[in-house]
Chains A and B, each alone.
Chain A
């Protein structure tokens, strides 16, 4: 049985239930098959708004998620992981016992010397969380967030590391976590995609390239892939109708297409056509719903001030505000990329610039979600694809995968809490290490999903987001 058919049949089961409900009567099993698409695709029978999981594996804590993806790899040593000993050892050689035989990126063959953290850390909130003084706004929500200081990953270069963070594997061709969520849970929006991607660049260094693979659905059907919203041009590709075509005409056009498709369907009885008709309706709704969404005029001045953006300017701040609007509308998964964290050189200056871009809007988003009652059922994740070396690379730091930090917040996450630690130099995650796949297991857990049970058959194997290695839900950080 191919994956397509599994999805199809799962959807069939769902259709059957709703059909039974609607018809109020039982129906002979085999008769159901007439509702099946007998052809090659799964899409015809699969409903847009329902995932394959019909009964959640356990009660969920969240319904939606926003991933603030700090592309390039933020230094944990200048953000969330204070290392006084590293400060003292500035300029001294790194202990060889630590670095020998370890993966190294641009510092291959170079002298490895300790490089002091470039900023002071402060205790924030009642919880007294230790955060770099550059991030005082995030500090102001310290009591809402849970910091993990013992992340580790396997891939030391951006592209595969990103791919691993999003898909659980450094190889390409696997579905991203947002696609898994849609496949499992479906989407709740009728006028907007269930998985939206926003990107911004910063002024603190070179813009990290990212591939569309990061939000691709891999071997899952492509309707589960993330849809990128653009800050310039049409917000969604091909959303704008041709010049000289009034909205009303476009609407008539879509109606005509659907009428004629409907007639053809009555002749050939092809379930793909019914789906096609639904998709044209959705496409047309998006032509009005998306521009509405991108219109920030309904936001208050206070909101603009809080995020530090007038909205719609393509900055990270504006994207945070847009993320809130999307989450409000029920979008399942929003990914906000800020491509500005690859600080190989001049980390002090670059950090200042990037912190200035990210600190305030991130805190604003958390506070805003709280004010609007969305915090409790949203999972907020702030992370990069890896951290940076305690060793100097000139005036910056190289890629580092043995220990780095992230923070989580929102539904079911212990607020004002921290978990795990690196060693005194910030090199290895030594206390309660958390692999990226453990994060994936935890994230799915918050949605009510057992990561071992959300699988998809591809090339004869049942694939899952967490892969074949053991993955553990980090229960200790759950409220």
Chain B
């Protein structure tokens, strides 16, 4: 069939035929017997299975074409498929009919079959209509390596055998400069060093290549590179993903993944630890961190979430992810109905979900802090913690020791009667004003009443004359808030419910600010303690104790000198919705309230008044807290406790997985969480796959994980190997890396995929060995250059007569720029970091509202994979280069090419700063001439020499820019100022700025962000 005709027909048909044509062999022209998997299933799956396939719900005419027994059975005298006899097969009659009432598939269901496809079906029936188990569900079996002369590497043998069959040959090995850059990016995600390039270019031998390979494989950056992909699969992110998209801490899991790849943890162990690290006989901290995998699903903290609905969402999410990550098939389709193309039933879906029913969780996550956390100390932190705990025990002992001296002093104190009430004197304001426009009226007793306009937010300024006759300094002030009938709900606040929120009390005496060291209150609302006033955060509030007097006491660091003129208070009330003070009064005291022995707390005063033996211990405890006799011991203990607290705060946590009594799991008909009519299911695996062995009555996650990595499981090794292949060739051997099922694509080299999978399992799931095998092949090392003929014949590189080429992953685009400019801080692991981000990008977030604070210091220059992953608003420069938000499992990223990418590379401060740093490096290390400098830069960034055109164009640009900046030095100074990294003091700004025109060009080149 001429191509022009194909082009005119409908896309799907056209494409199917087209792709076969590209491989130059169609089913029709094949000499050997047709293969059901290769030639027939794609046709039946695409055109027939939706109504005559595995899904019983939507099956028509009691016919299954996915099941040979049903397809060939006698139907009262006729056969849908009469094996060996196409002419008597109803299938052929129906698909070739012209009658719209008879033809299959019906016009409104699927596309008609092409004549080629019909001919293929006929031939297949005539050949006996044999079925095969779908290739990826068939057990893995030993495959022998084809014998190809002169080819030793098994991968190359498989590829070469096919190339020979189809009359092609390998492309020559890539230029050493290209090859070293490719290998470096592919194995570490970073560009090669100047030295690596030089060494390899000088001696591009087999040994040198192997040495480089080993160097990169053992680099700590190898684990980072592999993690980038794994984290997409498991949808790793730092936030919940629904609605408020609040933060949660899971970075120890990310670091576990990096470590696992670096230490070459066998993939079976890696699988088991993630799915069931908490269920191992002896779980380690490492395996428990790994099990955070089970908590990486999106979760919601939205008020009004129906817990049952969201538990169902989380369960479904876990099954989809399990299906994609390990089984490489779209199990997720069976959430609402039996799978239409693969033999997964809806019951299988919920039976998979039942494995995860033991995870302790809530449907609604009211703020990420309520999720159970697992502290993950580093060994250093662990050691420090033990040390501190020991020292605290010793200090506690010292503090608790009873000496005769202490006893005597205590007895004396308890014998005295105390007038515990400090003397408070009202301060009558000279002036009280509202910034928000409320009317503040000052009463005779110093009370201030707000009326009139009731602004959302307000700040009151109150000027209080001090008693200059007093010899004693003011040691504390009190702000009384008072009820008043004129206020909403009787006050004391102006909010509708009488509440108020006081954020900050700024005070100054004679223009000097007063710092508060202590704040206490008669009552404080949950979450709004008086302490907040020292921190300047949410503030102090009253609910539910409104409508009555409350008092806030503030103690200054330094007593306030009464000789000062006046005390000025600014009461900041920023909460909004009129949560402002309605009526209040300020009082002062000269008593030292910090002296707990002179002014005991109210409860202690009561105890002192009614002393009894059983309360004696309580009084002694109080006395210890305040007596000067124990100052040293007390301080020591407090200091140690503070250190422990700080240490504990600094220990990273991750979401813990705790197994509990499994929830009941039912089949949800049509995926409807409100429908309780479905049958109750227990954990089990689909019947068409090998059986699971369970250790107890009920199979659990650990059994599931072991089932996945059992040698009999046909899917797991194929799925993983196919994806590892993709990392090094840009596409899988089956390009549908997320679907190896019936609707997925048959691998271009099925025997190679199986051979690699068998080897992988046999090696003990050795990932590094697999990677090494791939990158040491001739297939991998070929040039990616492509002749027009080859591109024409094999546009998708299904034959591997060349390497592929692609734009780098989002993270690597960043890493490359930072690396070549020597800004990269290449430390491994740690909490997520925040690169520069345009202001206001998070404006759409709420509950709570968030301001983005970019990281400072070293954390600004970390690799892209450590970027804080905000699911609903992923960092925009990563997003622009197709990093996925990781709300769902992503097995394959897009590689788009958009104007937004151009804007990022041109204007994102990260890249402008990298250009500046690179300019400085050029000027410092690139010699003295323009040519030597350009050579240096090109070697550093592209591992090659500049071309003549590059040299002449950039020289012109540089001179033009230099002329401009020499006349406009202030603009040059502005350009170089970009970013947090220090600007060189030795280099003239005009020169650095001028060279930035060269380095910005360089960092924007397509070649720079691509791997060839």
Contacts and interface: CB of A to CB of B under 8 A. Distances in A.
Contact of B330 (A173, A398, A460): A460
Contacts of B907: 238-242
B792 A273 contact: no
Interface string A201-225: 0000011111111001000011100
Nearest to B961: A249
A2 B735 contact: yes
B4 A29 contact: yes
A74 to B, nearest CB: 16
A5 B505 CA distance: 64
Interface string A1-41: 11011100110010010000000000001111110111111
Interface string B95-107: 0000000000000
Most B-side CB within 10 Å, residue of A209, A264, A339 = A209
A49 interface: no
A29 B888 CA distance: 40
Given A34-B791, A209-B846, A222-B882, A276 B877 contact: no
Interface in A71-87: none
A212 B879 contact: yes
A101 B903 contact: no
A360 B976 CA distance: 47
Contacts of B298: 172
A2 B736 contact: yes
Contacts of A4: 894
B438 interface: no
Contacts of B305: 105, 157
B876 A238 contact: yes
A272 B792 contact: no
Contact of B302 (A158, A213, A221, A260): A158
Contact of A272 (B242, B795, B1010): B1010
Most B-side CB within 10 Å, residue of A216, A234, A276 = A276
A477 interface: no
A239 B795 CA distance: 35
Contacts of A339: 844, 846
B894 A399 contact: no
A70 interface: no
A206 B975 CA distance: 40
A243 B977 contact: yes
Contact of B975 (A13, A31, A237, A244): A244
A1 B795 CA distance: 13
A260 B743 contact: no
B957 interface: yes
Contact of B300 (A159, A173, A216): A159
A459 interface: yes
B949 interface: yes
Nearest to B989: A244
Contact of A16 (B7, B14, B333, B895): B7
A383 B844 CA distance: 19
B731 interface: yes
Contact of A460 (B341, B949, B960): B341
Contacts of B303: 105-106
Interface residues on A, range: 35 or more
B909 interface: yes
A106 to B, nearest CB: 4
B797 interface: yes
B1007 interface: yes
A207 B613 CA distance: 59
B333 A275 contact: no
Interface in B125-147: none
Interface string B11-32: 1101110110010000000000
Most A-side CB within 10 Å, residue of B2, B15, B333, B973 = B15
Interface stretch (A250-258, A294-302, A374-382): A250-258
Contacts of B15: 1, 5-6, 9
A353 interface: no
B908 interface: yes
Interface stretch (A280-288, A420-428, A435-443): A280-288
A388 to B, nearest CB: 12
B736 A460 contact: yes
B978 A243 contact: yes
A269 B787 CA distance: 9
Interface in B854-909: 871-874, 876-877, 879, 882, 885, 887-888, 894-904, 906-909
A212 B906 contact: no
Given A222-B882, A283-B899, A273 B1006 contact: yes
A68 interface: no
B887 A39 contact: no
Given A38-B797, A250-B906, A257-B1004, A268 B1012 contact: yes
Contact of B333 (A172, A240, A461): A461
B788 interface: yes
Interface string B770-797: 0000000000000001101011111111
A227 B975 CA distance: 28
A430 interface: no
Contacts of B794: 38
A351 B97 CA distance: 62
B302 A157 contact: yes
A257 B997 CA distance: 10
A213 B885 contact: yes
Given A252-B960, A280-B902, A209 B736 contact: no
A44 B898 CA distance: 10
A130 to B, nearest CB: 29
A259 B948 CA distance: 13
A172 B885 CA distance: 10
A360 to B, nearest CB: 23
Interface in B299-352: 300, 302-306, 309, 330, 333, 341
A212 B978 contact: no
Interface in A142-192: 156-160, 171-173
B839 A233 contact: yes
A199 interface: yes
Contact of A242 (B731, B738, B978): B978
B243 interface: yes
A234 B333 CA distance: 42
A302 B337 CA distance: 58
B330 A459 contact: yes
A283 B902 CA distance: 6
Given A30-B792, A223-B898, A257 B1005 contact: yes
A246 B964 contact: yes
A199 B843 contact: yes
A171 B304 CA distance: 18
B306 A104 contact: yes
Contacts of B975: 242-245
A41 B806 contact: yes
Contacts of A292: none
Contacts of A269: 785-786, 788
A43 interface: yes
Contacts of A97: none
A43 B807 CA distance: 12
Most A-side CB within 10 Å, residue of B243, B731, B785, B906 = B906
B278 interface: no
A237 B876 contact: yes
Contact of B741 (A38, A104, A249, A460): A460
Most B-side CB within 10 Å, residue of A222, A280, A399 = A222
A40 B731 contact: yes
A44 B897 contact: yes
B302 A159 contact: yes
A238 B847 contact: no
The 8 closest A-B pairs by CB, nearest first: A460-B743, A29-B3, A244-B974, A105-B304, A211-B872, A283-B902, A244-B975, A106-B304
13 contacts: A38-B791, A41-B897, A43-B898, A193-B899, A209-B872, A212-B844, A213-B885, A223-B897, A236-B903, A244-B976, A249-B964, A459-B743, A461-B743
Given A2-B736, A238-B877, A264-B1005, 6 more contacts: A9-B18, A199-B843, A230-B838, A238-B904, A259-B949, A269-B786
